[in-house]
Amino acid sequence: MAASKVLIAPFEVTPLDIIPAVSSTARATFASHKTKDLQWRLVQLRKLYWALDDFKPSLLAALQQDLHKGGYESDFTEVDWVKNDCLHMINNLETFAKTEKLKDVPVTYSMMNFRVKKEPLGTVLIIGPYNFPVQLVLAPLVGAIGAGCTAVIKPSELTPACAMVMKEMIESRLDRNAFAVVNGAVPETNALMDEKWDKIMFTGSAQVGSIIARKAAETLTPVCLELGGRNPAFVTKKANLALAARRLMWGKCLNAGQVCMSHNYVLVDKDVADTFIEFLKISYKEMFPNGAKASPDLSRIVNARHFNRIKKMLDETKGKIVMGGQMDESELFIEPTAVLVDSLDDPMMQEESFGPIFSVYPVDNLDQALNIANAVHRTPLALMAFGDKAETTKILDEMTSGGACINDAYFHGAVHTVPFGGVGDSGWGAYRGKASFDNFTHFRTVSETPNWMDKLLRVRYMPYDWSELRFLQRWTNKKPNFDRQGTVAKGSGYWMWFFLGLGTDGGGVKGALKRWLVVVAGYYLSVYVKARRR
């Protein structure tokens, strides 16, 4: 799609003195209750869908201008991706928003209609990063609209063209009193943080995330934090090395590796390290036959500061560059680069790359790989595992991460309908699909006591009467099926199931059915054999 002919307004910082009014307008709109109407929310989501369609040329041009992001990636992972997200919310909103009957209620209270009512949290602030400047503010917005919140968005100032197009798009197409965009950097974010919000959703670095969380704590404002991490990839001897190399290369080349989930380093079995590196080079050639610099498909680094941050990692590494290594500051170009390292202290292991460079660290075995990965960063945002079933199971069992992908680069985080989020210092909370709705929703438990029940409720009123309590307890308290050592006691119920299930408690009902099947088959076989003998 041609993106070059579109005119984008120069970046304009929102004046600090209007920020309180922007926030109070959004709060007043929420207080009017109009956002609680599902039809109102659906109309806003439908308008956002068509706004994305109509503004697509401007958004693609802005992504090209800010990040040199090609139209293909911009459409696939930003504009079209959010359109699909919008449709998913529109198509499922009624189900997500439905009041749910609570089933885990003791029979004693079952007539009190316990339920969970889904209520919008209120007015929320969405702060975005630069790497997917459209997706990472608009997907949270889809969740906020779906949940019935009003919202103010603060896009990254490092992608000014995207910020300006989104401001125009949102404020011209959505309810202006409910949704607004504030543009700017630290002073504007600080001014926004001085306002009262019902939730803050922040996507960005762990360093700024902790500033936001600290400030939010002063007013006990809940936060959803989507942060970064030093994400490991594991490649064992049993992995398909060619595929692992190709898929990991994709993960490092999409958006020039400026992807929060992409691998920082690859822990590869030392016996196959050389072969793996050869396959990386082959994949590079296949993806960029004329070299990465000449390709329209490789984004550039967002600015000189980040270019120099990445360059410094390469300058300071003690490792050996085994693929790539070219750079051109005038174009903010960095070639997809692999560095063979042998020390945990290497900057290529310790710092978040957030660019097209990664390290390859040969290991003796999977246990060593897991020890290293847990030492580098115990709670990364993502983890990628290539190996056989037993190995990938071991990796998932012995190391945590926000999300994980087996046999691919971060595909668990590429789909708009499934929950996405970090763990520990890589993030708090999740969103996307139903999780986006839940992220901005208060799950309010409601019960309703009928008038006629009052006689039954006598037991709770003063003056207390021990005999009434004992009576209630005799009828309603459940008995434990375990002793003081924590061992499950084998009572009459256990033995009944033991005999009916033909011995052992393994396999549950399915196991018992299988055993019965064997017995019945054996019986018919013996009848058949006897009949043949006659």
Per partner kind, with CB cut-offs from 5 to 8 A, the member of ligand LZNGFSDZ, ligand NAD, none near residue 414 is ligand LZNGFSDZ
The one catalytic residue among 86, 224, 253, 260: 260
Give the integer Cα–Cα distance in Å for 378 and 417: 27
Q: Are 179 and 141 in contact (CB under 8 A)?
A: yes
Q: Which stretch binds ligand LZNGFSDZ (CB under 6 A): 13-21, 254-262, 319-327, 393-401?
A: 254-262
Closest CA to 77 of 312, 249, 213, 253: 253
The residue whose two tokens read 């709670």 is 379
Give, to the nearest 10 degrees, the angle between helix 241-253 and helix 273-287: 50
Supply the minimum distance, in Å, between the C-beta of residue 131 and ligand NAD.
Answer: 5
Q: Is 129 in the site for ligand NAD (CB under 6 A)?
A: yes
Window 228-267: contact mask with ligand NAD (x via CB under 6 A)? x-------------------------------x-------
Q: Residues 411 to 430: which contact ligand NAD by CB under 6 A?
A: 422, 427
Binding span for ligand NAD by CB under 6 A among 63-71, 220-228, 235-243, 392-400: 220-228
Q: Pick from 376, 414, 430, 512 the residue near ligand LZNGFSDZ by CB under 6 A.
A: 414
**The residue to which tokens 């990445």 are assigned:** 310
Indicate which single residue of 81, 96, 114, 130 sits in contact with ligand NAD (rule: CB under 6 A): 130
227 contact choice in ligand NAD, ligand LZNGFSDZ, none (CB below 5 to 8 Å, kind-dependent): ligand NAD
Dihedral sign from CA coordinates of 90, 160, 204, 208: negative
| Sign of the dihedral through C-alpha 502, 503, 508, 514 | negative
Q: Is 226 in the site for ligand NAD (CB under 6 A)?
A: yes
Q: Identify the burial level of 154 via C-beta atoms within 10 angstroms of its C-beta, where 0-12 means exposed, 13-18 middle and 19 or more buried.
A: buried
Binding mask 363-402 for ligand NAD (x = CB under 6 A): ------------------x---------------------
If the CB atoms of residues 200 and 298 are measured against ligand NAD, the closer one turns out to be 200
Among 29, 58, 131, 337, binds ligand LZNGFSDZ (CB under 6 A): 131
* Tokens 């401001």 found at: 167
Q: What is the DSSP string of 25-71?
A: HHHHHHHTTGGG-HHHHHHHHHHHHHHHHHTHHHHHHHHHHHH---H
Number of neighbouring beta carbons within 10 Å of residue 423 = 17
Is residue 19 a contact point for ligand LZNGFSDZ (CB under 6 A)? Answer: no
Residue linked to tokens 């897991």: 370
Q: Among residues 128 and 146, whose Cβ is nearest to ligand NAD?
A: 128
Strand 427-428 relative to strand 223-226: parallel, antiparallel, unpaired?
antiparallel
User: Which of ligand NAD, ligand LZNGFSDZ, none lies near 186, with the C-beta cut-off 5 to 8 A by kind?
Assistant: ligand NAD
265 Cβ contact list (under 8 Å, min separation 6): 230, 232, 233, 341, 348, 349, 358, 359, 360, 361, 376
Task: Give dist(CA 130, CA 204) in Å, integer.
Answer: 8
Q: Cβ closer to ligand NAD: 184 or 387?
A: 184
Q: Is 260 labeled as catalytic in the residue annotation?
A: yes
The footprint of ligand LZNGFSDZ on residues 48-107 (CB under 6 A) is 76-77, 81
Q: How far is the CB of 130 from ligand NAD (least distance, A)?
A: 4
One residue of 79, 170, 259, 266 binding ligand LZNGFSDZ per CB under 6 A: 259
Count of positions (residues) in the chain: 534
| Binders in 266-305 for ligand NAD, by CB under 6 A | none
Q: Mark whether 335 is an active-site residue.
A: no
Task: Taking the CA atoms of 208, 211, 213 and 219 in sequence, report the sign of the dihedral they define.
Answer: negative
- Kindly state the number of chain residues that form the binding site for ligand LZNGFSDZ, as judged by CB under 6 A: 10
Pair 437, 419: CB distance under 8 Å: no
By CB under 6 A, the residues from 489 to 508 that bind ligand NAD are none
Q: Which of 188, 226, 352, 391 is catalytic?
A: 226
Alpha carbon of 211 to those of 201, 202, 259, 380: distances in Å? 13, 11, 22, 19
Element (H, E) at 436: helix 434-439
Question: Any idea which residues carry the catalytic annotation?
Answer: 226, 260
Interacting residues with ligand NAD (CB under 6 A):
127-131, 136, 154, 156-158, 185-186, 189, 203-205, 208, 211, 226-228, 260, 352, 354, 381, 422, 427
Interacting residues with ligand LZNGFSDZ (CB under 6 A):
76-77, 81, 131-132, 259-261, 413-414
